[in-house]
Structure 1
C-alpha cells in the first residue's frame, strides 16, 4: 500500500492510497477520511460506493461529507468503481455504462470479465481487511452507502450480508437490474444469459427474501432523468411493502441525479448512520 494523497479537512485527514488487489488482479486506488477522533482510537467506518464513470475521488471532492464525518467521528472509505489498468477488459465501444468505471459491484463469471471484475468480493472482503489492518477503524461497526450504481451496490451487499453492517443507505439507486436496460446490458455480459444468476444482485429480489432487517434509507429526486427507465424506485417501494421490510424511502421534489442532490442530503445520511454506529 502506497500513500498518493493527503489533505487536512475539518481537523481530520483525507488520504488516498494505491495497492495491488489480489481479488481484482490489478492495482487499485481508494480514499479514506479519518476524523479527528481517530487519533484517540478506532472509529466506526462507512463505505461509500460511487456510480457510473466515477472513481474514488468524486464523492471526496463533491459531497461535502467530511464535515459531518468529523462531527460524528466516523471514517469514510471510498473505493473505485471498477478494476483498471493494462489488460483489464472494457466495453469494445467504450460506452460509459459497462467496463471501466462500471463494475456494478458484482463478481463476474463470464470472460473476458471474470479475470478482473470481482468488485463484490473486493468491497465485501479484501478492501475492508486492508482498511481494518492499516487504519484506526472498528471493523465491527461498519455501514455502507452509495449513489446510483453504487446505491445498487450498497443495498445488495448489505442485504446479502446483514451481519456485516449496522445500516445501509442510498441515493438514487438502481433498484432492479433485472428490470432495466442497464442491468440487461451489463449483467448479461458479466454473469451470462441465465437471469436467475442475476437475482442475487437485485435489491428488489433480495428484499423479498430478507430475514434480517437493517436500518435502510433511500433518497430519490423526482427530477432525476434516469428515474423512470433505469432506477425503478417504485419497485423497491412495492417490494418493501409486500415483504414488510421497514425502510425510509424519501422522494425529494425537483432534485436530479447529480452531486448537488447528494451534497444536499449527505448530512442526514451521516446522522442516520451515526445512530446505528455509535
Structure 2
C-alpha cells in the first residue's frame, strides 16, 4: 500500500488551557520522508467558528519551539484559533553536508523547493507547507469551512510572507516576527539560495518577499514586528530595504519597531496576542 501524506499518526497529546496540544507524524511526498507537526485545538473547536493559523519557525527550530516557548495556547483557546506548527526541514535523510552548519541543511529548509540535484529529492519545504501539510490539516480535522492565515519568525517569517504572497487563495492573513525580508541580499539567504537553488537569480526571485511584493495583485496587508536590539536586524534581515520598497509601491505593511527587544522567543511572546488578534480580524 502506498504511503499518503493524508494518513497521520498522533504521537503525543496534552490538555492545555482547556484545549489539546497534539503532535503528529506523516509521510510527505514532497520531502520523501516522515515529517512531524503540531496542532493546537481550542476546546470544542468542532462546534465553533475557528480560524487556522500556520506558524513557521526559524533556523535550528523544530515543531516544538513555538508550542513550548511562545505561550500560544491560552491565546489560541480564547480566540478560537487552531494553530499548526510544522518542522523547519526534512530530517534523517542523510545528505552530505546537511548537518555541517546551523544555518543550512537540517533545521534550515528555508521554505523553498530545491533545484540543486543533491537537495531536490528532500528539501522541498515550500511544497510541503503549501500542499502536503495544508491539505492534511483541512482533510483530517474537519476544517474545510475555516479560513487560514500564516505567520512566522526569522526564517519562518520569510517563509510566511513569501508563501502568502504566492498563495493568496490559501492564506488570507499574514504576519511575521523579525523576518528575513530580502534573502537575496543578506548572508543567510544568499547561502541558502546558492546551495539549494544554484546561481540563477531568477530562481532566487521566486522566494524573495522584497521582489514578490512588487508583483502582488492582492496587496494583502502584512503586520511585522521587529526588535531594535535584535543582533541580526541590520546584518541579515533587510527590514529597512523591504520597508522602502513597500512604501515606494504603496504596499500596505504595518512595521513596528520595538526598543530593547531581541531576536528571541521572549520577543515573540511579548507581542503574540497582537498577531493572533490581527489574524482573527483579517479572517472574519
- 1:213 match: 219
- 1:192 match: 198
Distance 1:94 1:155 in 2: 28
How far off is 1:213 after superposition?
1.6
Distance 2:234 2:48 in 1: 45
Distance 2:238 2:246 in 1: 13
Please point out which of 51, 65, 68 is paired with 2:58.
51
Q: Does 1:16 align with 2:23?
A: yes
For residues 172-191 of structure 1, the aligned pairs below 5 Å read 172-191=178-197
Distance 2:144 2:45 in 1: 10
Distance 1:43 1:90 in 2: 43
Alpha carbons of structure 1 residues 49 and 90: separation in structure 2 relative to 1, 3 Å: farther
- 1:240 match: 246
Query: RMSD across aligned C-alpha pairs, in angstroms?
Result: 1.3
Distance 1:7 1:233 in 2: 37
SS at match of 2:113: coil
Please point out which of 223, 230, 249 is paired with 2:229.
223
State whether residues 48 and 80 of structure 2, in contact with CA within 8 Å, keep that contact through their aligned partners in structure 1.
no
Distance 2:134 2:167 in 1: 14
Distance 2:210 2:106 in 1: 26
Q: TM-score, normalised by structure 2?
A: 0.94
How far off is 1:92 after superposition?
5.8
Provide, for residues 247-276 of structure 1, a one-character-per-residue CA deviation record: whole Å limited to 9, x for no partner: 100001110000000000001100000101
Alpha carbons of structure 1 residues 8 and 24: separation in structure 2 relative to 1, 3 Å: same
How far off is 1:138 after superposition?
3.9
Distance 1:70 1:19 in 2: 25
Q: Does 1:72 align with 2:79?
A: yes
SS at match of 1:198: helix
Please point out which of 98, 105, 108 is paired with 1:102.
108
Provide, for residues 215-235 of structure 1, a one-character-per-residue CA deviation record: whole Å limited to 9, x for no partner: 210000000000111001001
Q: Post-superposition, which runs of at least 4 consecutive aligned residues in structure 1 deviate over 2 A?
A: 89-93, 136-140
- 1:152 match: 158
State whether residues 70 and 269 of structure 2, in contact with CA within 8 Å, keep that contact through their aligned partners in structure 1.
yes
Distance 1:111 1:99 in 2: 14
Gaps of 5+ in 1: none
SS at match of 1:177: coil
State whether residues 14 and 31 of structure 1, in contact with CA within 8 Å, keep that contact through their aligned partners in structure 2.
yes
